[in-house]
Copies of this chain bind each other. A is one copy, B any other.
Amino acid sequence: MYRLYSFPPSGNCYKLRLFLTQLQIPFELVSVNLLNQETYLPEFLQKNPNGKVPVLEIEPDVFLTESNSILIYLAEETDFFSRDRLERNQILKWLFFEQFSLGANLSRPRFWITVVKQAEQFAPLIAYHQRLGNAGLGVMEQHLTTHSFFVGERYTIADIALYSYTHVAHEGGYDLSKFPNIQEWCDRVQSQPNHIRIDQNSRSLLG
């Protein structure tokens, strides 16, 4: 059985809890506490030398890392990805956009403000990331003026990746009321079969 190493508040880990649940693939959930530097212990660095979660152990001692590459691995033969070359490229485009233009810009302010509650100490970096993150959200908002989902007018791993931190952006000081198309898209994502919330237990044995 797959084993997922996950820090519960992490959007990158949530992507995989959500997608594995929607694929109805059973998995063992192992909670890792980033706040204790657990991911930098030698035992964990053997799983991921980059010291980050999520890590998906697909068989004993075979570890996959980088959430979006794992989404692709799981989705390759399903309709959550695509067999069409150009459509596949569009999904990949949004996955890379998510990591570069959204990723740290949404996750770090949220981490500082909501997870470790050090907003004052990190105020200049929060403002720096928020300026970039609002630009990224603006690109998504514009795309959603003419699309129900990001690629192919259906729910794909592009939506899963983009949703993971976007729907909790307010916890990083973002004002999603400025992005009504994004809010409506979030509703559509939440109405997909087998959706689970970020704070919800998933279809796992443990955790």
Please list the residues of chain A having a beta carbon within 8 angstroms of any beta carbon in chain B.
49-50, 62, 64-70, 72-73, 76, 85-86, 89, 92-93, 95-97, 99-101, 103-104, 124-125, 128, 136, 139, 142-143
Contact = CB atoms under 8 A, between A and B. Distances in A.
A106 to B, nearest CB: 12
Contacts of A86: 62
Contacts of A139: 49-50
The count of identical subunits is 2
Nearest to A68: B96
Contacts of A99: 96, 99-100
B65 A93 contact: yes
A140 to B, nearest CB: 10
A66 to B, nearest CB: 4
Contact of A93 (B64, B89, B100, B124): B64
